[in-house]
Amino acid sequence: MSDLPTPWQNFTGQYIAGAWRSGSTRKVLENRNPYDNALLTELSLGDVSDLDDAYQAAATAQKAWAQTLPNERSALFMRAVSVLEARHEEIVD
C-alpha cells in the first residue's frame, strides 16, 4: 500500500486554515480545456472576507513554521518532492 496522499476530488473551492471551503460569493469561474473548450471544473469564487480569513490563517501558521527546526523543514520539503515525483505523470497529464 502506498503512503502517498489520495488524489483530490471535487476541487471547487479554496484551501484556507487547513480545510477546503467554498468561496463566499455565488460567482463561479469555469475552468475549460483550451483545446476543445470542454468544461473541466467550476470554481467557487471568494471575496474580501475569504482573503482576510486566508491571511489570518497564514499569519497564524507562520508563527508555528518559524519555530520549526531546519531539519524538520527540510524533511517536509523532501516529502513534497517525493510526492511530486511519484505523481509526475498525473500532474503533467
Checking if the pLDDT of 33 tops 50, the result is: yes
Model pLDDT, residue 41? 82
Residue % of the chain over a pLDDT of 90: 56
Residue % of the chain over a pLDDT of 70: 86
Checking if the pLDDT of 5 tops 70, the result is: no
Q: Tell me the three state secondary structure of residue 70.
A: helix
Checking if the pLDDT of 1 tops 50, the result is: no
What is the band of 82 on the pLDDT scale with cuts at 50, 70, 90? very high
Model pLDDT, residue 48? 96
Cell of 31: 475552468
Helices (H) and strands (E) counted in the chain, each on its own, are 3, 4
Cell of 14: 479554496
Question: Is residue 29 within a helix (H) or strand (E), and if so which, with residue range?
Answer: strand 28-32
Question: 52 versus 23: which is more confidently predicted?
Answer: 52
